[in-house]
Amino acid sequence: MSDRTAVLRDATDHVVCATCAVEYGREPLPPVCAICDDERQWVPRSGQVWTTVGELAGAGHRTVVEEIEPGLVGIGTAPSVGIGQTGKLVVTDRGNVLFDVPGLIDDAAVAAIESRGGLAAIVASHPHMYGVQSLYSRTFDDAPVLVARADASFLPLHTPAVRLWDQTHEIVPGVRLEQIGGHFPGSTVALVTGADGRGVLLAGDGIFPGPQGRTVSFLRSYPNRIPLSAAVVRRIADQVARLEFERLYNNFRDVVPAGAGEVVERSAQRYIEWVSGEHDHLT
């Protein structure tokens, strides 16, 4: 059993990018964050800013834990850190999975996970969600950190816990990983069996719910509003159509609460029609 207190104490000086909250660990640091220096993200006009887990805690940032539904726990931060994602802790009797990782770890995060049985694995839907995944791994007995092989070039901090993957598989029984691409080549979704026996899709940024969960959309970059092609969106929709799921959650607090499979297909068709010019006469 790892000494969780010692890991948290050592995490104080752990460096993260202040803009995206992806970890870099220790010096030497690059001139600019590789995650942010990409057309899908952004570097502040004032230049690159680094911070540490300790500085974030000292500024008042803390972990917020929320029960999303039975067997699914949100782990976020307030005030928000970096992009402001809410990680999803999937709780099963065969091991727990942290899907998408906050840029902060503290006593509250550790207590929430420990009280539910620890971690069997950690996986980010895409590089923006790496957060401080190495610290969560170290805190929970070096839990494996699954990184999509297609996105491995974006990984700033390599540790022995990292496992590259590219084939669809169950990470623990009842939690299936698939790479759908689009937002990033290795963008990943997790299909989870909900407590009600219905499928739940954790979609990260790959499929993004709109207002009230009535629609979803698909983008290469959300902050920079870069679209995907009709062909890519068709490919994504066809891939997830083979999965059975009733609800869909993104990497924040947005949800398609019912009929999510139908919502994805209907929204994909609408997107394809617009980017293909079918409705240009309306513009």
198-231 confidence digits (pLDDT tens)? 999 999 999 999 999 999 999 999 999 999 999 9
The mean of the pLDDT values for the chain is 96
Tell whether the model's pLDDT for residue 5 goes beyond 90.
no
Q: Which pLDDT belongs to residue 10?
A: 83
Tell me what the mean pLDDT of segment 141-156 comes to. 97
Identify whether the C-beta of residue 128 lies closer than 8 Å to the C-beta of residue 34: no
Going from the C-alpha of 185 to that of each of 21, 149, 162, 260, the distances in angstroms are: 21, 9, 18, 23
CA distance 243 to 16: 35
| Rg of the chain over all Cα atoms, to the nearest angstrom | 18
Q: Give per-residue pLDDT as tens, 157-173.
A: 999 999 999 999 999 99
Identify whether the C-beta of residue 22 lies closer than 8 Å to the C-beta of residue 131: yes
CA distance 83 to 21: 7
What is the DSSP code (8-state) at residue 48? -
Q: Which fold has domain 4-282?
A: Metallo-beta-lactamase; Chain A (3.60.15)
CA distance 145 to 130: 10
Q: Which pLDDT belongs to residue 244?
A: 97
Q: Which pLDDT belongs to residue 27?
A: 85
Query: Distance between alpha carbon 142 and the CA centroid of its chain, in Å?
Result: 19
Q: Which pLDDT belongs to residue 2?
A: 53
CA distance 69 to 66: 9
Phi then psi dihedrals of residue 62, to 5 deg:
-145, 165
Identify whether the C-beta of residue 247 lies closer than 8 Å to the C-beta of residue 257: yes
Q: Which pLDDT belongs to residue 1?
A: 41
Q: Which pLDDT belongs to residue 177?
A: 98
* pLDDT band for position 7 (cuts 50, 70, 90): confident
Quote the tokens at residue 272.
Answer: 């394809």
CA distance 98 to 35: 21
**Angle (nearest 5°) at CA 27 between 25 and 33:** 70
In the chain, the N- to C-terminal Cα span, in Å, equals: 62
Tell whether the model's pLDDT for residue 9 goes beyond 90.
no
Specify the pTM.
Answer: 0.96
CA distance 247 to 87: 16
- Domains of the chain: which residue ranges? 4-282
Q: What is the percentage of the chain residues whose pLDDT exceeds 90?
A: 96
